[in-house]
Amino acid sequence: MVEHRADNSEVTGSNPVGATIFGTMMIKPNGDISVVGTTPEGKEVVRGAFYFVETHGLPLDVVIGHLDSKNMIIDWIDFYECALENNWNVRTIFSKIEVSLLDVYGRDYADNVMWRLHHYLNVKHKDD
């Protein structure tokens, strides 16, 4: 089964990342960070980035920049869903994502991800 994500990647399976991503911060063995797909440009898409923002207090733009330096990007649908589960306000989620993407990648990329995330939510809540 192939699932298309907000960043235009295809999710084809889950592959836990076994290495440390953020310096001395070790990834928990329960799969807090895992590679779930690859973009057409060859970047690995990872789930679990919200953990570093919420639990360790890292700024989202720092997380994005560090993952980018390792040729990885965040699964934004997973980030959004995790933020909701942790009682973040929807406006706060969208604002943090957009501002951070603008800082790291610029307007075109930020607009693309935000449009895809809105599209995902519209489809998800279509029957509500």
By C-alpha distance, which of 6, 62, 81 is closest to 39? 6
Q: What angle do CA 75, 80, 85 make, to 5 degrees?
A: 125
pLDDT at 12: 45
Task: Name the pTM for this structure.
Answer: 0.76
Q: Are the C-beta atoms of 34 and 16 separated by less than 8 Å? A: yes
For residue 25, name the pLDDT band (cuts at 50, 70, 90).
very low
Q: Are the C-beta atoms of 22 and 52 separated by less than 8 Å? A: yes
pLDDT at 55: 86
Structure confidence by residue, pLDDT tens digits, 30-56: 446 899 999 999 999 999 999 989 988
pLDDT at 127: 66
Structure confidence by residue, pLDDT tens digits, 57-109: 899 999 999 999 999 999 999 999 999 999 999 999 999 999 999 999 999 99
pLDDT at 128: 60
* 90-119 burial code (b ≥16 CB/10 A, e <16): eeebbebbbebbeebbeeeebeebbebbee
pLDDT at 126: 80
